[in-house]
């Protein structure tokens, strides 16, 4: 790429092209992340509306629980806030797929798939943006909860954010993978509802499943988010080395690994 060459003159067709670098996937991820982070910062709506739903629950539902016995050691806020944080991630990630349907229809996904960019980076750059967005919204939610009366140890709160980040990486990956196989937003909406509502109800996001009858409790053990909620609630109580926290971490990591694998596969060979 010397200055002496005319701008439109192509490279030698059989000559060496740009070299492969070992750091390429990381650089690619940073590049894709930057593109979508800038896009998010440009649209203030996305920042504001995502947090609205959990904030409404916090303000209008949270106070109902303060005198209810939830079978938990701490205050009702220590039970509710972890659930709301994961709810934020669950709904936000599920809706992330909408954006890629629009991009697909613009031909953006295909245009990028035609470049040598790492397929993992195409996915990871996007889901890391989502993870940052929802953790940032989670911080706002926790600040609001502190004002409402939440008291929890700082390490527990930080562990909670890690859970939010991991869950977002997993669910956003799946969300993009599914959305890439759907042609219109109208088809994707019902899929999102069919997935998010049962997930929310069956994982005990709003109220702990320890309150549930045996059959419901048994079903909820089949829903992976259940383990994340339980682990996060323990962390909010200041119990870090419990079985629930370890199970939560294990499930979150396994889910993230599977989802990233599935998502990357779709970017590698999708009808995008």
Partner 1 sequence: MVAKFKCPCFPGHVKLIETTGLTRTFQSRRGPVHAVRGIDLTVPEGEILGFLGPNGAGKTTTLRMLTTLLPPTGGTARVAGCDLAADTAGVRRRIGYVAQSSGVDPHISVLEELVTQARLYRLSKAQAATRAEELLHDLDLTALAHRPTGALSGGQRRRLDIAMALTHRPPLLFLDEPTTGLDPRSRADLWQLVRRLRDEHGTTVFLTTHYLDEADALADRIVVVDHGLISAEGTPAELKTRYAGSADATLQDAFLAITGHDLTTGTTGTTGDDPTAGSARRRTRSHA
Site for partner 1, rule CB under 8 A: 1-2, 5-18, 20-21, 24, 27-28, 31, 35, 38-39, 42, 103, 105-108, 110-117, 181-183, 269-271
Q: Judge whether 44 and 134 are in contact, CB under 8 Å.
A: no
CA distance 162 to 181: 29
- Provide the minimum distance between the beta carbon of 171 and partner 1 in the complex, in angstroms, as a whole number: 21
- Provide the minimum distance between the beta carbon of 111 and partner 1 in the complex, in angstroms, as a whole number: 3
CA distance 37 to 126: 8
- Provide the minimum distance between the beta carbon of 257 and partner 1 in the complex, in angstroms, as a whole number: 23
- Provide the minimum distance between the beta carbon of 101 and partner 1 in the complex, in angstroms, as a whole number: 11
Residue closer to partner 1, measured from CB, 41 or 147: 41
Whole-Å CA distances, 123 to 40, 51, 171: 16, 24, 12
Residue closer to partner 1, measured from CB, 114 or 241: 114
DSSP assignment string, 179-206: HHT-S-HHHHHHHHHHHHHHHHHHTTSS
Show the tokens assigned to 171.
């669910």
Helix, coil or strand: residue 69: coil
DSSP 210: G
CA angle 252, 54, 240 (to 5 degrees): 40
Residue closer to partner 1, measured from CB, 181 or 217: 181
- Provide the minimum distance between the beta carbon of 180 and partner 1 in the complex, in angstroms, as a whole number: 9
Output the CA torsion sign for 95, 97, 102, 103. positive
- Provide the minimum distance between the beta carbon of 92 and partner 1 in the complex, in angstroms, as a whole number: 20
Lookup result for tokens 């919204």: 137
């Amino acid at each position: 790429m010397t200055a002496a060459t005319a701008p439109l003159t192509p490279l030698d067709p059989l000559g060496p092209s740009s070299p492969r670098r070992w750091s390429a996937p990381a650089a690619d991820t940073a590049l894709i992340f930057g593109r979508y982070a800038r896009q998010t910062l440009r649209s203030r709506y996305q920042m504001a509306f995502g947090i609205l739903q959990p904030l409404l629950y916090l303000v209008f539902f949270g106070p109902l629980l303060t005198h209810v016995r939830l079978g938990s050691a701490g205050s009702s806020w220590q039970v509710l806030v972890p659930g709301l944080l994961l709810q934020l991630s669950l709904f936000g990630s599920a809706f992330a797929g909408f954006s890629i349907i629009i991009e697909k229809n613009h031909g953006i996904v295909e245009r990028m798939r035609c470049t040598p960019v790492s397929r993992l980076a195409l996915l990871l750059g996007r889901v890391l943006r989502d993870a940052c967005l929802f953790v940032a919204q989670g911080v706002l939610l926790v600040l609001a909860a502190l004002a409402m009366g939440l008291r929890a140890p700082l390490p527990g709160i930080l562990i909670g954010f890690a859970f939010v980040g991991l869950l977002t990486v997993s669910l956003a990956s799946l969300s993009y993978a599914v959305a890439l196989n759907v042609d219109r937003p109208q088809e994707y909406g019902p899929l999102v509802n069919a997935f998010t509502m049962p997930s929310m109800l069956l994982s005990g996001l709003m109220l702990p499943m320890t309150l549930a009858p045996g059959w419901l409790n048994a079903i909820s053990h089949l829903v992976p988010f259940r383990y994340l909620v339980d682990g996060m609630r323990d962390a909010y109580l200041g119990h870090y080395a419990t079985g629930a926290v370890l199970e939560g971490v294990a499930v979150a990591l396994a889910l993230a690994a599977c989802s990233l694998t599935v998502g990357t596969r779709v970017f590698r060979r999708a009808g995008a």
